[in-house]
Chains A and B, each alone.
Chain A
Amino acid sequence: SAVISQKPSRDICQRGTSLTIQCQVDSQVTMMFWYRQQPGQSLTLIATANQGSEATYESGFVIDKFPISRPNLTFSTLTVSNMSPEDSSIYLCSVGTSGRIVDEQFFGPGTRLTVL
């Protein structure tokens, strides 16, 4: 499985500011995903970020709030814009493999964001 790192690991931000989270993979991958997670709860998919195409956002998430870049096969960024306390959460990136039968994803360590 791929080794995935995220920066920063945690941050405390003021409302109204923006934070960019980086996700770096040690091998080339086509599919990357960004999730949000409240501590102790399940994952909510924000968007799919495949290299060579625009990110695809899930219902309830918009590009103006969560712009995503995917410049190459090993790197992606998620920006949380104009933050409010409701954006306080854990943000996770994952890389996916998809075959005819099996879909698997491997996750980074997450970024814990607190908005004051």
Chain B
Amino acid sequence: TQLLEQSPQFLSIQEGENLTVYCNSSSVFSSLQWYRQEPGEGPVLLVTVVTGGEVKKLKRLTFQFGDARKDSSLHITAAQPGDTGLYLCAGGSGAGGTSYGKLTFGQGTILTVHP
């Protein structure tokens, strides 16, 4: 059974601060996704990383996939109140087998950015 350990579970910061959320596993994933979810809505896909060591940037958000494809991080620079939400990482194992198409989700990080 694949597990993704996500930390921290809660993060409360002031506007303008930087933060990093981590997802770690003992398993190798072929791809890893990061989602953000706001109250009353479904999770929205932010990014997918595929290659070990890959770094992707989305405005103030930087996503990194570990070299061994077992871990990932999300770094937010100069956080804003609009960044508030539940952040979820999810790993995929690629086509084939009983896990075809399924994702393994981390426990989630609730981020609150205070003005």
A residues contacting B by CB (< 8 A) are: 1, 4, 31, 33, 39-43, 45, 48, 92, 94, 96-110, 112
From A4, A43, A103, A112, give the contact of B88 (CB < 8 A).
Answer: A43
Q: Which residues of the partner chain A approach B62 to less than 8 Å between Cβ atoms?
A: none
Given contacts A31-B101, A40-B108, contact A100 B95 (CB under 8 A): yes
Given contacts A42-B107, A101-B30, A104-B48, contact A48 B94 (CB under 8 A): no
A101 close to B31 (CB less than 8 A): yes
Given contacts A99-B94, A99-B95, A101-B30, contact A107 B43 (CB under 8 A): yes
Task: Name 7 interchain pairs, CB-CB below 8 A, sorted by A.
Answer: A31-B100, A40-B108, A40-B110, A48-B102, A98-B95, A101-B94, A103-B101
Minimum Cβ distance to chain A for residue B112 (Å): 11
Number of A-B contacts (CB under 8 A): 80
* Chain B residues touching A, range: 20 to 34
Residue among B33, B42, B110 with most chain A CB within 10 A: B42
B residues contacting A by CB (< 8 A) are: 6, 30-31, 33, 35, 39-45, 48, 50, 86, 88, 90, 92-95, 100-103, 105-108, 110
14 other contacts beyond A4-B42, A40-B110, A102-B48, with CB at 8 A cut-off?
A33-B101, A39-B39, A40-B108, A42-B105, A43-B43, A94-B42, A96-B103, A100-B94, A103-B92, A104-B48, A108-B42, A109-B41, A110-B40, A112-B40
A103 close to B41 (CB less than 8 A): no
